[in-house]
Structure 1
Amino acid sequence: MSTFTLDNVPPQNGKIAIVTGANSGLGYETALALAKKGATVILASRNLSKAQDAMHQILLEMPNAALEIILLDLNSLQSIENFAKEFSSKYDRLDLLIENAGIMMPPLSKTKDGFESQLGVNYLAHFHLTNLLFPIIKETAEARIVTLSSLAHQSGKIDFDNLNAEKSYSKWKFYAQSKLACLMFAYELQRRIDSAGIDAISLSAHPGFSDTNLGTFLPSIGRALFSPLTSIIGQGSKQGALPTLRAALDPEAKGGEYYGPSGFRELKGDPVKVKSSSRSHDLGVAAKLWSDSEELTGKTFEL
């Protein structure tokens, strides 16, 4: 499928998908597209009211859409565990795990478990969620895990001596670190899936410069410029969701691939396979990040 369009994607009837952060922006567009293709979509959100609004909007377009809300607060390992327990009690398969939710450049804050918030929400929460759901994933033929990264990963570095801002904090540095961690996790997960001979694939995607709610924590002047800049050099959230959707739905996609926009500096354009930074392919750092993540979340990841 050299040119990806949703119209060319086979129906997804009978498949079960989870989309984190499905109530707005990229997550909403991803959930809407999956529902249109016939998948049952779990809207994973910490805000019930916003999730209900999103469900209502999807049902206006797709009255027969199969949707369910399960609350998920990525600031809390306990909430993630509750989510996984509830999902596992209702479903015996998971075809698509779309790890979309994230935050960008907040003031220094910590999750309920003491993690720096960007590393905690963007990366560690999704690492833990994947771990808890993996027993179902590996029993589902041709399951896919899609982890959202960002162009910001290119300037990221995993600082093991200051992983949770124990010594210092920079909003951008820690955002970039979290998104590099997401990408390295996607690659490392695929390597481990291959070693274990599991019928699943792990992929990653980034939306380019897209109009989302990630600008919430930007200074007021940054927020004022964010949408106008997006309209000039970037793209809307519907287009920004396409790299994620290609990773999730393209029949020709292979494990370990990374998708992003095709245009100048990957800011916007059609979804294509893209390259990532040399740091994202560091096997030693990836292995240490994995083991440290197991220690921080308190659970060994058994494939």
Structure 2
Amino acid sequence: MASSGVIDTDSEDELPSGWDERVTLDGKVYYANHHTRVTQWNHPVTGRRKVVMGELPYGWEQKINEEGQVYYIDHVSEKTTYTDPRLAFAVDAKQENDKTVRQRFDGSSTALHVLQGRDLSGKYAIVTGANSGIGFETARSLAFHGAHVIMACRDMKMAGKAANAIKLERPHAKVETSYIDLAQLQSVQQFALNYKSRNCPLHMLILNAGVFSLPYTLTDDGYEATFQVNYLGHFYLCQLLQEVLTRSAPARITVLSSESHRFTFLSTDTSLASQLSPPADNYRAMLAYNRSKLCNVLLSNCLQRRLGALGVSSNVVHPGNLMATGISRHWWPWRILFTLVRPFTKSMQQGAATTVFCATARELEAVGGHYFINCFSVQPSTAAESPEMQDELWAISEQMVANATTLTEKTGDCRVNWRTDPGTVTHHA
């Protein structure tokens, strides 16, 4: 092994002239000095040792030629190189077995940035509300990296256009659309039946769809629409797909919420059902939205308690403040506000970053029960962390599903019975 002399470089990670960075077949990075013809494990500038981890980036393949040399083919760009593409994402060797969750990304990171170097081939993902906004960028980013993405949408015309847009950019992307209307629990049930009939695994369930500032509306099931679309429909979907998720473990559920969950609470002094789905004379659009987002945090934490031991982790995400998505379309003052603040908010790619991080990051394998902002875990509201409120919400949600109008003629084939002890689930055909 050799050491270097005086090094003239602008970056501590930049290699000096005559040095080359390489990697062994077992992922250890080493450095070759072409002047002295010696190699060493330590970086000639920083002295640190590095390793490469995980799979090759999507589209790459490792080959060995007749002389025994390892080379790499990028089937996307149709290029060949002798340099391991994972070198671009090498980490310090001491981090190889370190399970500490560090902040690698921030509010300016994009979903595609989060996925750099990843290959999600063979992974199946469902994204609700994927035809536009954050949901579309989430689906697009996962598909670009090899995942098989089911875009679960109510507007199939828009969904078809969105899927075609992804395939136009990446002709080999595995994306498809499937109808779901969260405002009708029978539709949620049918979506789950259709998916289960395929006998496909499910590694990522991303509960993204949502509405905002709706006028008072009752769904076909008899519940206030904001509550049902943002929360109850997703709750039921999790119930129906839990068997597929546990069979596919390790699997992850990612629930979209909002910082607005901090500006409300649910009281045990009055009927929980009347707070969640109030009558018209007690309806406030913003309050309904805030409560639905609090329900989403409670749901994610309860899912983690019930499914974590079965290999299914659940985390909840705040994507960003006042993002210019289509969620503001139902009331013109909100459209004006969202238009005015748009230059100061995240792009849709940035908004999707935390969702994609929670759904795919290696350091979050088997890690759940967290609330993430800008790809970093923070404390949710005190109300969201109450196990008692989580269980009470769960119980009333099961009762509301059982009483849903569109399901009264349906029996059996997709009903789920969850035992009260966390971590244990039974499915009844």
TM-score (ref. length: structure 2): 0.66
Give distance in 1, aligned partners of 2:276 and 2:317: 23
Change (3 A) 1:290 1:51: same
Q: Is the 8 A contact 2:151 2:159 kept in 1?
A: yes
**Partners in 2 of 1:9 and 1:138 — Cα distance?**
27
2:168 alignment counterpart? 60
Partner of residue 142 from structure 2, selected from 17, 34, 40: 34
1:227 to 323, 339, 352: 339
State the partner residue of 2:391.
287
Cα pair 2:240 2:416 within 8 Å, conserved: no
Whether 1:79 aligns to 2:187 is: yes
The Cα shift of 1:162 comes to 2.6
Regions of 4+ moved over 6 Å? none
What letter corresponds to residue 201 of structure 1 in structure 2?
S
> Secondary structure, in 3 states, of the residue corresponding to 1:41?
strand
Aligned to 2:299: 185
Instruction: Identify the match of residue 290 of structure 2 among 173, 176, 189.
Output: 176
Deviation larger for 251-260 or 93-102: 251-260
Q: Is 1:88 the counterpart of 2:189 in the alignment?
A: no
Q: CA deviation at 1:3?
A: 1.1
Task: State how far apart, in whole Å, the 2-side matches of 1:255 and 1:246 are.
Answer: 13
**CA gap 1:137/1:7 in 2 versus in 1, 3 angstroms:** closer
Report if aligned partners of 2:246, 2:310 keep a CA contact under 8 Å in 1: yes
Q: Does 1:212 align with 2:313?
A: no
C-alpha contact (below 8 Å) 1:246/1:259 kept by paired residues? no
Asked whether the 8 Å contact 1:15–1:94 carries over to 2, the reply is: yes
SS of the equivalent of 2:221 reads coil
- How far, CA to CA, are the matches of 1:275 and 1:63 in structure 2? 41
Q: Distance in 2 between matches of 1:25 and 1:193?
A: 29
Partner of 1:256: 369
Secondary structure of residue in 2 paired with 1:93? coil
* Distance in structure 1 (CA, Å) of the matches to 2:277 and 2:200: 35
CA 105–301 in structure 1, closer or farther in 2 if over 3 Å, else same: farther
1:2-151 to 2 correspondences below 5 Å: 2-4=103-105, 5-8=113-116, 10-151=118-259
Instruction: Tell me the amino acid that sits aligned with residue 236 of structure 1.
Output: S
Cα deviation for residue 7 of structure 1 reads 4.0
**Distance (Å, rounded) in 2 between the aligned partners of 1:172 and 1:9:** 40
- Of 260, 264, 279, which residue of structure 2 is paired with 1:152? 260
Query: Can you list the C-alpha shifts for 1:122-173, whole angstroms capped at 9, x where unaligned?
Result: 0000000010011100101210011110111011222514321136100011
- Structure with greater helix percent: 1
Deviation sequence 1:256-288 (CA, Å, 0-9, x none):
122112xxxxxxxxx222221111111211110
Shift of 1:27: 0.4
1:191, 1:162 → 2: CA distance? Answer: 24
Deviation at 1:88, TM superposition (A): 0.7
What is the percent sequence identity of the aligned residues?
35
Structure 2 residue matching 1:106: 3-state secondary structure? coil
**Partner of residue 348, structure 2:** 237
Farther-moved stretch of structure 1 (291-300 vs 118-127): 291-300
Number of corresponding residues: 290
Answer yes or no: is 1:297 the counterpart of 2:409: no
Cα shift at 1:230: 2.6
Change (3 A) 1:244 1:301: farther
Secondary structure of 2:265's partner?
coil
**TM-score, normalization: structure 1?**
0.92
Contact 2:251–2:312 (Cα < 8 Å) also in 1: yes
Structure 1 gaps, min length 5: 262-270
Cα pair 1:9 1:249 within 8 Å, conserved: no
The higher relative CO (CA closer than 8 Å, separation ≥ 6) is in 1
Spell out, residue by residue over 1:173-230, the C-alpha distance to the aligned partner (whole angstroms, 9 max, x if none): 1100000000110001101124xx2011011101112221111123x23312212213
In 1, distance between residues paired with 2:174 and 2:206?
17
| Higher mean displacement: 79-88 or 252-261 | 252-261
